[in-house]
Amino acid sequence: MKLKIYSDRTFILNEIRQITNEIEEEDKTTAYNSVVENAISELIKIDMRELAHRDQSEQWYSGERILFQALDSVRDNLVSIKPTFDFSEYFKAAEKKLRSPALELSDLRRKLRASKEMALTGDQTSIDGLQPYQVKELGLKGAIEGLLIFPSSDVVDVDLDRLRQTYSVEGEWFPFQIKIRDFTFVVDDDGSIFTSTEHFSERMMTDARQIIEQIAPKLYS
Amino acid sequence: MVTLEIQSRSLGFSKEEQNLATGAYTREALRDRFQKALAAKPAFTLAPTLSIDESVLKRMISKYSEQLIYQPLNEVRFWFEYSSGVFLEPGYPPLFYAKNRGKSVSPNKSAVAAIGEGVAGLLAQRLYRCRKLARPNHDYPDIVMVASRRTYLVESKATIDSSDARIKEEIDEAIPRFVSFASTCSQLDVRPVVALMIGTLVVSDSVYRSFVSEISMV
Protein backbone atom coordinates (compact mmCIF):
# COMPACT_ATOMS: atom_id res chain seq x y z
CA MET A 1 0.00 0.00 0.00
CA LYS A 2 1.53 3.28 -1.17
CA LEU A 3 0.00 6.45 0.24
CA LYS A 4 0.48 10.18 0.01
CA ILE A 5 0.37 11.55 3.53
CA TYR A 6 -0.24 15.13 4.47
CA SER A 7 0.82 16.97 7.62
CA ASP A 8 -2.05 17.85 9.96
CA ARG A 9 -1.99 21.48 8.80
CA THR A 10 -2.14 20.64 5.09
CA PHE A 11 -4.75 17.94 5.66
CA ILE A 12 -7.04 20.35 7.54
CA LEU A 13 -6.51 23.13 4.98
CA ASN A 14 -7.41 20.71 2.17
CA GLU A 15 -10.55 19.62 4.03
CA ILE A 16 -11.61 23.23 4.63
CA ARG A 17 -11.14 23.96 0.94
CA GLN A 18 -13.29 20.96 -0.03
CA ILE A 19 -16.01 21.63 2.56
CA THR A 20 -16.30 25.31 1.61
CA ASN A 21 -16.50 24.32 -2.07
CA GLU A 22 -19.38 21.97 -1.18
CA ILE A 23 -21.04 24.74 0.89
CA GLU A 24 -20.95 27.06 -2.12
CA GLU A 25 -22.20 24.35 -4.48
CA GLU A 26 -25.17 23.67 -2.21
CA ASP A 27 -25.74 27.38 -1.62
CA LYS A 28 -25.48 27.01 2.17
CA THR A 29 -23.09 29.91 2.78
CA THR A 30 -25.38 31.53 5.34
CA ALA A 31 -25.59 28.42 7.55
CA TYR A 32 -23.07 28.21 10.38
CA ASN A 33 -20.96 25.09 9.91
CA SER A 34 -19.47 23.89 13.20
CA VAL A 35 -17.10 21.50 11.41
CA VAL A 36 -15.47 24.47 9.66
CA GLU A 37 -15.30 26.28 13.01
CA ASN A 38 -13.59 23.30 14.67
CA ALA A 39 -11.18 22.88 11.77
CA ILE A 40 -10.16 26.55 11.86
CA SER A 41 -9.64 26.41 15.63
CA GLU A 42 -7.44 23.35 15.15
CA LEU A 43 -5.34 25.15 12.53
CA ILE A 44 -4.89 28.10 14.88
CA LYS A 45 -3.85 25.75 17.70
CA ILE A 46 -1.26 24.13 15.42
CA ASP A 47 0.11 27.55 14.48
CA MET A 48 0.15 28.79 18.08
CA ARG A 49 2.09 25.71 19.21
CA GLU A 50 4.57 26.06 16.36
CA LEU A 51 5.05 29.75 17.01
CA ALA A 52 5.64 29.24 20.73
CA HIS A 53 8.06 26.40 20.00
CA ARG A 54 9.92 27.91 17.06
CA ASP A 55 10.63 31.45 18.16
CA GLN A 56 12.96 31.09 21.13
CA SER A 57 14.15 34.72 21.13
CA GLU A 58 14.41 36.54 24.45
CA GLN A 59 11.40 38.65 23.58
CA TRP A 60 8.35 38.00 25.76
CA TYR A 61 5.29 36.77 23.89
CA SER A 62 1.98 37.32 25.62
CA GLY A 63 -0.82 34.84 25.04
CA GLU A 64 -2.61 37.54 23.10
CA ARG A 65 0.35 38.06 20.80
CA ILE A 66 0.65 34.33 20.13
CA LEU A 67 -3.08 34.09 19.46
CA PHE A 68 -3.26 37.09 17.11
CA GLN A 69 -0.15 36.14 15.20
CA ALA A 70 -1.60 32.64 14.64
CA LEU A 71 -5.00 34.10 13.70
CA ASP A 72 -3.34 36.30 11.07
CA SER A 73 -1.29 33.44 9.70
CA VAL A 74 -4.29 31.10 9.38
CA ARG A 75 -6.41 33.89 7.88
CA ASP A 76 -3.68 34.46 5.24
CA ASN A 77 -3.57 30.73 4.47
CA LEU A 78 -7.35 30.55 4.07
CA VAL A 79 -7.45 33.65 1.88
CA SER A 80 -4.87 32.02 -0.39
CA ILE A 81 -6.98 28.87 -0.82
CA LYS A 82 -10.46 30.40 -0.69
CA PRO A 83 -10.32 34.15 -1.33
CA THR A 84 -14.07 34.74 -1.72
CA PHE A 85 -15.38 32.80 1.30
CA ASP A 86 -16.36 34.73 4.43
CA PHE A 87 -14.69 33.04 7.43
CA SER A 88 -15.11 36.01 9.81
CA GLU A 89 -17.72 34.39 12.11
CA TYR A 90 -15.56 31.28 12.49
CA PHE A 91 -12.54 33.37 13.43
CA LYS A 92 -14.56 35.24 16.06
CA ALA A 93 -15.59 31.92 17.65
CA ALA A 94 -12.05 30.54 17.51
CA GLU A 95 -10.55 33.69 19.04
CA LYS A 96 -12.94 33.48 21.99
CA LYS A 97 -12.29 29.77 22.53
CA LEU A 98 -8.51 29.91 22.24
CA ARG A 99 -7.69 32.76 24.64
CA SER A 100 -7.00 30.44 27.57
CA PRO A 101 -4.90 27.92 25.59
CA ALA A 102 -2.87 30.90 24.26
CA LEU A 103 -2.05 31.97 27.83
CA GLU A 104 -0.86 28.45 28.61
CA LEU A 105 1.31 28.46 25.48
CA SER A 106 2.88 31.77 26.47
CA ASP A 107 3.79 30.32 29.86
CA LEU A 108 5.12 27.09 28.33
CA ARG A 109 7.23 29.04 25.83
CA ARG A 110 8.99 30.88 28.67
CA LYS A 111 9.59 27.61 30.53
CA LEU A 112 10.83 25.77 27.43
CA ARG A 113 13.30 28.56 26.73
CA ALA A 114 14.76 28.19 30.24
CA SER A 115 14.88 24.38 29.91
CA LYS A 116 16.66 24.61 26.55
CA GLU A 117 19.24 27.02 27.97
CA MET A 118 20.06 24.36 30.56
CA ALA A 119 19.97 21.64 27.85
CA LEU A 120 17.33 19.69 29.78
CA THR A 121 15.13 18.62 26.90
CA GLY A 122 15.53 15.63 24.59
CA ASP A 123 17.43 16.20 21.35
CA GLN A 124 15.94 16.75 17.92
CA THR A 125 17.92 15.77 14.84
CA SER A 126 17.22 16.49 11.16
CA ILE A 127 17.89 13.73 8.65
CA ASP A 128 18.37 14.86 5.05
CA GLY A 129 17.33 12.90 1.99
CA LEU A 130 14.75 12.80 -0.76
CA GLN A 131 12.07 12.92 1.93
CA PRO A 132 13.76 14.51 4.98
CA TYR A 133 12.56 13.85 8.51
CA GLN A 134 13.18 14.73 12.15
CA VAL A 135 14.04 12.43 15.03
CA LYS A 136 12.81 13.74 18.39
CA GLU A 137 13.51 12.38 21.85
CA LEU A 138 10.36 12.97 23.91
CA GLY A 139 10.83 14.02 27.50
CA LEU A 140 13.68 15.38 29.60
CA LYS A 141 17.27 14.17 29.35
CA GLY A 142 17.79 11.14 31.57
CA ALA A 143 14.08 10.28 31.38
CA ILE A 144 13.32 10.02 27.67
CA GLU A 145 9.82 8.54 27.40
CA GLY A 146 9.60 8.02 23.68
CA LEU A 147 11.16 8.45 20.26
CA LEU A 148 9.21 10.17 17.51
CA ILE A 149 10.11 10.45 13.85
CA PHE A 150 8.08 12.78 11.67
CA PRO A 151 8.40 14.08 8.10
CA SER A 152 9.93 17.56 7.70
CA SER A 153 7.71 18.44 4.74
CA ASP A 154 3.96 18.92 4.44
CA VAL A 155 3.51 15.95 2.17
CA VAL A 156 5.29 12.62 2.08
CA ASP A 157 4.91 9.37 0.11
CA VAL A 158 4.95 6.28 2.30
CA ASP A 159 5.38 2.70 1.20
CA LEU A 160 3.83 0.23 3.64
CA ASP A 161 4.43 -2.73 1.28
CA ARG A 162 8.15 -2.12 1.51
CA LEU A 163 7.88 -2.17 5.31
CA ARG A 164 5.91 -5.42 5.21
CA GLN A 165 8.65 -7.06 3.12
CA THR A 166 11.07 -6.58 6.01
CA TYR A 167 8.98 -6.36 9.19
CA SER A 168 5.86 -7.79 10.76
CA VAL A 169 3.35 -4.94 10.29
CA GLU A 170 0.04 -5.42 12.14
CA GLY A 171 -3.24 -3.67 11.35
CA GLU A 172 -5.39 -2.96 8.31
CA TRP A 173 -5.21 0.81 8.77
CA PHE A 174 -3.49 3.47 10.90
CA PRO A 175 -2.16 3.18 13.51
CA PHE A 176 -0.07 0.26 12.26
CA GLN A 177 2.10 -1.53 14.78
CA ILE A 178 5.48 -2.99 13.85
CA LYS A 179 7.02 -5.59 16.15
CA ILE A 180 10.77 -5.97 16.12
CA ARG A 181 12.34 -8.06 18.87
CA ASP A 182 10.94 -6.67 22.15
CA PHE A 183 10.05 -3.30 20.65
CA THR A 184 6.85 -2.01 19.07
CA PHE A 185 6.79 0.94 16.68
CA VAL A 186 3.64 2.83 15.74
CA VAL A 187 3.10 4.30 12.26
CA ASP A 188 0.32 6.86 12.27
CA ASP A 189 -1.74 8.78 9.72
CA ASP A 190 0.45 11.90 9.87
CA GLY A 191 3.41 9.82 8.68
CA SER A 192 5.01 9.69 12.14
CA ILE A 193 6.73 6.70 13.73
CA PHE A 194 6.65 6.43 17.53
CA THR A 195 7.93 4.08 20.15
CA SER A 196 7.58 4.28 23.90
CA THR A 197 10.87 4.13 25.83
CA GLU A 198 9.55 4.47 29.38
CA HIS A 199 11.96 2.93 31.91
CA PHE A 200 14.39 1.81 29.17
CA SER A 201 18.03 1.13 30.03
CA GLU A 202 20.68 2.97 28.00
CA ARG A 203 21.29 -0.19 25.99
CA MET A 204 17.59 -0.59 25.14
CA MET A 205 17.40 3.08 24.23
CA THR A 206 20.30 2.71 21.79
CA ASP A 207 18.69 -0.39 20.25
CA ALA A 208 15.28 1.32 19.90
CA ARG A 209 16.91 4.32 18.26
CA GLN A 210 18.87 2.16 15.82
CA ILE A 211 15.74 0.25 14.81
CA ILE A 212 13.49 3.31 14.39
CA GLU A 213 16.18 4.89 12.24
CA GLN A 214 16.17 1.75 10.06
CA ILE A 215 12.36 1.84 9.70
CA ALA A 216 12.18 5.52 8.66
CA PRO A 217 14.15 5.30 5.36
CA LYS A 218 12.07 2.26 4.36
CA LEU A 219 8.77 4.04 5.12
CA TYR A 220 9.76 7.28 3.41
CA SER A 221 11.58 5.67 0.45
CA MET B 1 -0.32 -5.88 25.21
CA VAL B 2 -3.97 -4.97 25.71
CA THR B 3 -6.80 -7.13 24.41
CA LEU B 4 -9.53 -4.86 23.09
CA GLU B 5 -12.86 -6.70 22.92
CA ILE B 6 -15.36 -4.87 20.74
CA GLN B 7 -19.14 -4.90 20.56
CA SER B 8 -20.91 -2.69 18.05
CA ARG B 9 -24.35 -1.65 16.86
CA SER B 10 -25.71 0.62 14.13
CA LEU B 11 -28.49 2.98 15.09
CA GLY B 12 -30.54 4.97 12.59
CA PHE B 13 -32.78 7.75 13.92
CA SER B 14 -35.77 9.10 12.00
CA LYS B 15 -36.65 12.80 12.01
CA GLU B 16 -39.30 12.15 14.68
CA GLU B 17 -36.81 10.30 16.89
CA GLN B 18 -34.28 13.12 16.47
CA ASN B 19 -36.92 15.53 17.74
CA LEU B 20 -37.69 13.20 20.64
CA ALA B 21 -33.98 13.19 21.51
CA THR B 22 -33.97 16.99 21.67
CA GLY B 23 -37.14 17.03 23.78
CA ALA B 24 -35.76 14.36 26.11
CA TYR B 25 -33.73 17.06 27.90
CA THR B 26 -36.75 18.92 29.09
CA ARG B 27 -39.61 16.43 29.46
CA GLU B 28 -39.53 13.08 31.20
CA ALA B 29 -42.35 11.75 29.01
CA LEU B 30 -40.29 12.43 25.90
CA ARG B 31 -37.21 10.90 27.52
CA ASP B 32 -39.17 7.70 28.22
CA ARG B 33 -40.48 7.58 24.64
CA PHE B 34 -36.97 8.07 23.30
CA GLN B 35 -35.55 5.32 25.51
CA LYS B 36 -38.36 3.00 24.33
CA ALA B 37 -37.46 3.76 20.69
CA LEU B 38 -33.79 3.15 21.49
CA ALA B 39 -34.55 -0.19 23.19
CA ALA B 40 -36.30 -1.38 19.99
CA LYS B 41 -33.18 -0.79 17.88
CA PRO B 42 -30.44 -3.38 17.19
CA ALA B 43 -28.48 -4.59 20.23
CA PHE B 44 -24.69 -4.73 20.51
CA THR B 45 -23.07 -7.68 18.72
CA LEU B 46 -19.54 -9.02 18.99
CA ALA B 47 -16.96 -7.69 16.54
CA PRO B 48 -13.41 -9.02 16.02
CA THR B 49 -11.08 -8.47 18.99
CA LEU B 50 -7.95 -6.36 18.56
CA SER B 51 -4.56 -6.87 20.25
CA ILE B 52 -3.09 -3.46 20.88
CA ASP B 53 0.44 -2.77 22.07
CA GLU B 54 0.85 -0.24 24.86
CA SER B 55 2.97 1.98 22.56
CA VAL B 56 -0.08 2.33 20.29
CA LEU B 57 -2.33 3.21 23.22
CA LYS B 58 0.14 5.76 24.56
CA ARG B 59 0.36 7.41 21.14
CA MET B 60 -3.44 7.51 20.79
CA ILE B 61 -3.85 8.92 24.31
CA SER B 62 -1.35 11.72 23.54
CA LYS B 63 -3.17 12.44 20.31
CA TYR B 64 -6.76 12.40 21.49
CA SER B 65 -6.93 12.94 25.23
CA GLU B 66 -7.58 16.31 26.81
CA GLN B 67 -6.49 15.05 30.23
CA LEU B 68 -3.12 16.22 31.54
CA ILE B 69 -2.18 12.94 33.12
CA TYR B 70 1.18 11.25 33.60
CA GLN B 71 1.32 7.62 32.48
CA PRO B 72 -2.42 6.74 32.61
CA LEU B 73 -1.75 3.07 31.79
CA ASN B 74 0.48 2.79 34.86
CA GLU B 75 -2.17 4.59 36.95
CA VAL B 76 -4.71 1.93 35.97
CA ARG B 77 -2.18 -0.85 36.60
CA PHE B 78 -1.56 0.61 40.07
CA TRP B 79 -5.31 0.68 40.74
CA PHE B 80 -5.72 -3.01 39.87
CA GLU B 81 -2.72 -3.79 42.06
CA TYR B 82 -4.38 -1.96 44.97
CA SER B 83 -7.71 -3.68 44.20
CA SER B 84 -6.07 -7.10 44.45
CA GLY B 85 -5.49 -6.56 48.17
CA VAL B 86 -1.74 -6.99 47.72
CA PHE B 87 -1.15 -3.80 49.72
CA LEU B 88 -1.58 -5.90 52.87
CA GLU B 89 1.64 -7.72 52.05
CA PRO B 90 5.08 -6.60 53.30
CA GLY B 91 6.66 -3.67 51.45
CA TYR B 92 3.47 -1.75 50.70
CA PRO B 93 2.16 1.43 52.38
CA PRO B 94 0.63 0.48 55.76
CA LEU B 95 -2.57 2.50 55.34
CA PHE B 96 -4.56 4.07 52.59
CA TYR B 97 -4.93 7.49 54.15
CA ALA B 98 -7.83 8.76 52.01
CA LYS B 99 -10.11 6.15 53.56
CA ASN B 100 -10.88 8.56 56.45
CA ARG B 101 -14.30 10.03 57.02
CA GLY B 102 -16.21 7.63 54.84
CA LYS B 103 -14.39 8.58 51.64
CA SER B 104 -14.43 5.70 49.22
CA VAL B 105 -11.21 4.66 47.50
CA SER B 106 -11.47 5.24 43.78
CA PRO B 107 -9.27 4.94 40.71
CA ASN B 108 -7.80 8.01 38.99
CA LYS B 109 -10.74 9.28 36.94
CA SER B 110 -8.56 11.40 34.64
CA ALA B 111 -6.47 8.33 33.76
CA VAL B 112 -9.60 6.33 32.93
CA ALA B 113 -11.05 9.20 30.86
CA ALA B 114 -7.72 9.56 29.01
CA ILE B 115 -7.74 5.87 28.13
CA GLY B 116 -11.37 6.14 26.93
CA GLU B 117 -10.50 9.07 24.64
CA GLY B 118 -7.43 7.29 23.28
CA VAL B 119 -9.38 4.10 22.57
CA ALA B 120 -12.21 6.10 20.91
CA GLY B 121 -9.74 7.78 18.54
CA LEU B 122 -7.99 4.47 17.87
CA LEU B 123 -11.24 2.68 16.96
CA ALA B 124 -12.46 5.55 14.77
CA GLN B 125 -9.19 5.29 12.87
CA ARG B 126 -9.01 1.50 12.67
CA LEU B 127 -12.70 0.69 12.07
CA TYR B 128 -13.79 3.71 10.00
CA ARG B 129 -10.46 4.91 8.52
CA CYS B 130 -11.12 8.34 9.98
CA ARG B 131 -8.52 11.06 10.36
CA LYS B 132 -8.65 13.73 13.04
CA LEU B 133 -9.88 17.11 11.85
CA ALA B 134 -10.10 18.71 15.28
CA ARG B 135 -9.85 17.97 18.96
CA PRO B 136 -12.14 20.73 20.35
CA ASN B 137 -10.96 22.33 23.60
CA HIS B 138 -13.36 21.75 26.49
CA ASP B 139 -16.17 21.39 24.00
CA TYR B 140 -18.52 18.82 22.55
CA PRO B 141 -17.97 16.27 21.03
CA ASP B 142 -14.55 14.91 21.98
CA ILE B 143 -13.21 14.55 18.44
CA VAL B 144 -14.27 15.69 14.97
CA MET B 145 -12.98 13.41 12.22
CA VAL B 146 -13.41 12.86 8.50
CA ALA B 147 -13.38 9.88 6.15
CA SER B 148 -14.59 9.57 2.55
CA ARG B 149 -16.26 13.00 2.59
CA ARG B 150 -18.26 12.21 5.70
CA THR B 151 -18.08 13.98 9.03
CA TYR B 152 -17.59 11.75 12.08
CA LEU B 153 -18.43 13.15 15.50
CA VAL B 154 -16.79 11.01 18.17
CA GLU B 155 -17.73 10.99 21.84
CA SER B 156 -16.10 8.74 24.41
CA LYS B 157 -17.19 7.29 27.74
CA ALA B 158 -14.96 5.27 30.00
CA THR B 159 -15.36 3.46 33.26
CA ILE B 160 -13.54 1.05 35.52
CA ASP B 161 -14.80 -1.18 38.32
CA SER B 162 -18.13 -1.51 36.53
CA SER B 163 -20.04 -4.01 34.44
CA ASP B 164 -21.21 -4.43 30.84
CA ALA B 165 -24.78 -3.69 31.92
CA ARG B 166 -23.80 -0.51 33.75
CA ILE B 167 -21.70 0.97 30.93
CA LYS B 168 -24.42 0.14 28.38
CA GLU B 169 -26.87 1.98 30.61
CA GLU B 170 -24.53 4.99 30.81
CA ILE B 171 -24.14 4.98 27.02
CA ASP B 172 -27.93 4.85 26.49
CA GLU B 173 -28.39 7.73 28.94
CA ALA B 174 -25.90 9.82 26.92
CA ILE B 175 -27.39 8.95 23.53
CA PRO B 176 -30.26 11.54 23.45
CA ARG B 177 -27.86 14.50 23.85
CA PHE B 178 -25.55 13.06 21.20
CA VAL B 179 -28.37 12.33 18.74
CA SER B 180 -29.78 15.82 19.25
CA PHE B 181 -26.35 17.38 18.62
CA ALA B 182 -25.63 15.17 15.60
CA SER B 183 -29.07 15.98 14.19
CA THR B 184 -28.33 19.72 14.41
CA CYS B 185 -24.89 19.25 12.81
CA SER B 186 -26.37 17.14 10.09
CA GLN B 187 -28.81 19.92 9.17
CA LEU B 188 -26.06 22.56 9.15
CA ASP B 189 -23.31 20.46 7.57
CA VAL B 190 -23.10 19.87 3.84
CA ARG B 191 -21.71 16.37 4.33
CA PRO B 192 -23.38 13.28 5.78
CA VAL B 193 -22.81 13.16 9.54
CA VAL B 194 -22.07 9.95 11.46
CA ALA B 195 -21.93 10.05 15.24
CA LEU B 196 -19.80 7.49 17.08
CA MET B 197 -20.39 6.97 20.79
CA ILE B 198 -17.56 4.75 22.04
CA GLY B 199 -17.78 3.53 25.63
CA THR B 200 -14.85 1.62 27.11
CA LEU B 201 -14.94 -0.56 30.18
CA VAL B 202 -11.47 -1.10 31.64
CA VAL B 203 -11.88 -4.72 32.75
CA SER B 204 -8.25 -5.16 33.86
CA ASP B 205 -4.90 -3.60 33.00
CA SER B 206 -4.69 -5.92 29.97
CA VAL B 207 -8.35 -6.28 28.89
CA TYR B 208 -10.62 -3.43 27.74
CA ARG B 209 -14.13 -3.87 26.38
CA SER B 210 -15.40 -1.20 23.97
CA PHE B 211 -19.03 -0.62 22.95
CA VAL B 212 -19.32 1.24 19.65
CA SER B 213 -22.65 2.86 18.68
CA GLU B 214 -22.66 4.11 15.10
CA ILE B 215 -25.45 6.66 14.87
CA SER B 216 -26.85 8.01 11.63
CA MET B 217 -29.76 10.26 10.72
CA VAL B 218 -32.27 8.59 8.40
State how far residue A94 is from chain B, nearest Cα, in angstroms.
10
Q: Report the b/e string of A18-54 with b at 16+ CB within 10 A.
A: ebbeebeeeeeeeeebbbbbbbbbbbbbbbbbebbee
How would DSSP label each residue in A91-113? Answer: HHHHHHHTHHHHHHHHHHHHHHH
Q: Is B135 on the interface with A (CB under 8 A)?
A: yes
DSSP run (H or E) holding B9: strand B2-13
List of chain A residues whose C-beta atoms are within 8 Å of the C-beta of residue B58: 146, 194, 196
Q: Would you say the pTM of this structure is higher than 0.90? A: yes
Q: Is A29 on the interface with B (CB under 8 A)?
A: no
CB–CB of B146 and A15 under 8 A? Answer: yes
Query: Which residue in A41, A171, A196 is closest to B126 by CB distance?
Result: A171
CB–CB of B133 and A198 under 8 A? Answer: no
CB–CB of A31 and B188 under 8 A? Answer: yes
Number of continuous H segments (helices) and E segments (strands) in chain A? 7, 9
Whole-number Å distance between alpha carbons of B168 and B125: 22
Tens of pLDDT along chain A (221 residues) come to 899 999 999 999 999 999 999 999 988 878 889 999 999 999 999 999 999 998 767 788 899 999 999 999 999 999 999 999 999 999 999 999 999 999 999 999 999 999 999 999 999 999 999 999 999 999 999 999 999 999 999 999 999 999 999 999 999 999 999 999 999 999 999 999 999 999 999 999 999 999 999 999 999 98
Whole-number Å distance between alpha carbons of A12 and A10: 5
How would DSSP label each residue in A121-163? Answer: BPPEEEE-SSS-EEEEEEEETTEEEEEEEEESSSEEEEEHHHH
Query: How distant is the alpha carbon of residue B34 from its chain centre?
Result: 21
CB–CB of A185 and B55 under 8 A? Answer: yes
Whole-number Å distance between alpha carbons of A149 and A134: 6
